[in-house]
Each structure stands twice: as structure tokens, then as C-alpha cells.
Amino acid sequence: MDIESSFELTDGEIVAVFDLGQDHRFTYEAPQRNNVSLQFYAPLRDHASMANVSTAVFSELHKRLPDTSLHNYLPGPWVNNALTQFHGIDHDAPIAYFIGVPDQVPEFFFDHPIAIGGFVCETDRILDEWVAICNRLALVTVPSNWCRDAFIASGVTTPVMVVPHGLDPEYRPYKEKERRDKLIFFNSFHSHSFYSRKGAEELVRSFLKVFHKRDDVVLRLRTDRCQHLSTLQRTYDFANLIETEELSYVSTEEYARIFSDVHCTVHPSRGEGFGLVPFQSVACETPVIAPHATGMADYLDANNSIELKTNGRINGEGVGNAAGTYFTIDEQHLADQLLYVDANWSDEYAKVRAAGPEFRHRHAWDSALMPFVDLIVRLHKLNDVDAMQGLIDKVVCA
């Protein structure tokens, strides 16, 4: 990231610790800064998708407001150590932006005149506790229309703005695909959402059902080793049809090359706030099978992907921070679509290659974040809180 700092750290420190209990302890310990335009709170740890998204958002904000201060509110190593030069907290900053989970927001965050929360959900409702926190903010941002509808339906009366995720320039094809010995189907996911959301078991069952006698296809699952995976392997005979690949951190370019090395990404997820795996796959010009639903509906269509039907709903309560319902996957349709790709892969590859260039241009980070960053810059020019809230209402609720 090529960003130059326009200010220096001071020797002063602010120390505040926000204890959520259980296994989470979020620290707000940071060097103090003065006269900051925007205070940005982000979870910049462990190369998680939220950390990568936060880094990109900060970069775009900093281009327009160089005196933006960044704070990593999670303890541990930073996802990008170069960003520590912008580290600090200024409680007097007129605008503050927090990316994370609503119940992680510290009480002092609301002292900023304009406090903005960037949140996400996968189900069609959010928790009542989340609603209460959102309604104390000046603005809520979410990455998709699906999330916006869920927040409003749940009772959020604060203006809700859709601020989509974007694409790093590394997400592009690195080579032309060829179908030679084996057709490689692919999916990538973390174990904590293995059964509850990503549809991995449905994918395994469907794949083994339609390809059990074949030696020219393979399903590659990139995931961390976990009890769920072990149980799945014991329940179903993977044989030579399903490969597992250790989920470990790789650079953005290396991850994009993974998409370039496979023939089709299969993402039978029950719910996505946005859905980065199919999003990045299309950008790399790799055919995608996924529901055109939840957050994925904002960018998946008949011109760039293969639609997977859903089949009813399932209660999401008790799964992490979920409330409301998830979709369920039509397993027979998943099996049919796997066979369809096997028979028509060349046509689907040609389709996504045609869609790729415009897709990458339209969803680049600077394009995706332009309306939000423009709003922040306009807010910064106003000195009156009522005028700032009025501008938010005018832009977001128009």
C-alpha cells in the first residue's frame, strides 16, 4: 500500500480496554493523535477477510483525507505492519468509522460527533442488541442490499448505506484455462461456518452422487483441518474424487492464482453478507455455481455465473451471532448444475471471460467506495453536527 503520512505520532497514550467476556478481549490502547479528521477503528489481524476489507477502505479514505487515523482494536499482529505508522486514537475526531460486529463497539465511540458503524449479516434478521447499537449511530454501512433490507426489517431506523466490497487489482486471470486430464471444481471456507452456512456437506454429497464412477473430475476443498472435516471424511468416502487443501494465509496474488488453476468454483452458501469467494472467482474469470441470493445477488447474474436454486429457509438462531433464517440449498439442482458444467464448461468459461474485464473495472475498490468516500469528504467540510446528519439523511435516504 502506497500511502504517505501527513502527521507524526505523539508520545501520549490513551489506554482503554473493552472486555466482552468469553474469549474476546478488545483493546483500545494506542498512541494519541491530535486534530484528526476521521478516526478509523478496524480489526486488522490474522489476514481475515474483514481485515483485508478494512485495509482497502482505509486506503481509499486516506487518499482523500490524509489526516485519517487508524486503530487496530484487536490485540495481536497486524495484517499489514506498514499501517502501524497511521496508528492512534483521537477522541475529538469529528467523524469516526468502526468496522466489525455491533456489540464490539466501545461506549466511548459514541462520543464522536458523527459515529458510523460498518456491519454485515448473513440472515434476514439481526439481533435486537445489534439494532439498539445501530440506532445510536449517525449512519450504518453494510456491503449489500440483502444486508440493508435485513437491518431495516429488524428495526434499524438509522440511515443504512450500501458500501460494497471491492476488488484488488491482483484478482485477474493469470493464465488461460484448458481442460486436460481433470476438470477441477473448487471451494474455500473456514471451518467455523462449515456446516451452518457454507453448504459443504451438500456439496460433498452432490459431487459424490454424480461423479462417483468418474476419474476425470475432482473437487478441491481448501479449508482448515477441523472436527467437521474429519467427520465428513468418515461419513463419505472421498476416494480420489475429493481433495483437501490446508487453509493457510497466502498473498492476494497467490490466492488469485488459485482461482486461475481451477475450472469452476462451487459456492452453495446458505447466506452471505456479500460473498467474496464467488466475487473474486468471477474477477479471475473462473466459472461460478452459486445462489443468486443474499449478498451475492448484488453482483451475480446470468451473464457471469450459473445460478443455484435455493429451497426454503432454515432457522439461523443459535449459530454465532445469527438471528432470522438462512436459505437452504436445492441439492438435486446442485447435482444437476455440476453435471451441466461438466457438459458445457467451455461455454461457461467463454461467458465469464467475456464478463471479466467490465466486472473488474466496475468493482475495483476506488469505484466501489466512491459514493461513501465522497460522502465522508462532504461531511468533513461541515462544522455543524445537525448539518452533517442532514446531509447523511439527504444522501442515504433520498
What does the pLDDT look like over 341-387, one tens digit per residue? 999 999 999 999 999 999 999 999 999 999 999 999 999 999 899 99
Which tens digits make up the pLDDT trace of 270-306? 999 999 999 999 999 999 999 999 999 999 999 999 9
Q: Which three cell numbers stand for residue 189?
A: 471456507
Whether pLDDT at 8 is above 80: no
Which tens digits make up the pLDDT trace of 77-98? 888 889 999 999 999 999 999 9
Would you identify the CATH topology of the domain 13-166+365-396? Rossmann fold (3.40.50)
Distances (CA, A) of 66 to 36, 38, 379: 9, 9, 15
Q: What is the pLDDT of residue 41?
A: 97
Q: What is the pLDDT of residue 83?
A: 92
| Strand 139-142 to 160-162 pairing | parallel
3-class secondary structure, 349: helix
Which tens digits make up the pLDDT trace of 46-69? 778 899 999 999 999 999 999 999
How far, in whole angstroms, is CA 336 from its chain's centroid? 28
CATH code 3.40.50.2000 region(s) in the chain: 183-362
Average pLDDT, the chain: 89
Which tens digits make up the pLDDT trace of 205-232? 999 999 998 999 999 998 876 667 777 7
Across 162-187, average pLDDT = 95
Q: What is the pLDDT of residue 1?
A: 42
Q: What is the pLDDT of residue 300?
A: 98
Inter-residue contact 263 to 281 (CB < 8 Å): no
Inter-residue contact 71 to 28 (CB < 8 Å): yes
Whether pLDDT at 311 is above 60: yes
pTM given for the model: 0.91
CATH code 3.40.50.11930 region(s) in the chain: 13-166+365-396
State the virtual CA torsion across 362, 363, 365, 368 in degrees, nearest 10. Answer: 80
Across 332-337, average pLDDT = 98
Which among 102, 100, 193 has a CA at the least distance from the CA of 154?
102
Whether pLDDT at 252 is above 70: yes
Cell numbers 438509522 correspond to 158
Note the CATH architecture for domain 183-362. Answer: 3-Layer(aba) Sandwich (3.40)
Whether pLDDT at 3 is above 60: no
Q: Which three cell numbers stand for residue 100?
A: 466489525
Inter-residue contact 143 to 163 (CB < 8 Å): yes
Inter-residue contact 85 to 5 (CB < 8 Å): yes
Beta bridge partners of 114: 95
Whether pLDDT at 13 is above 80: no
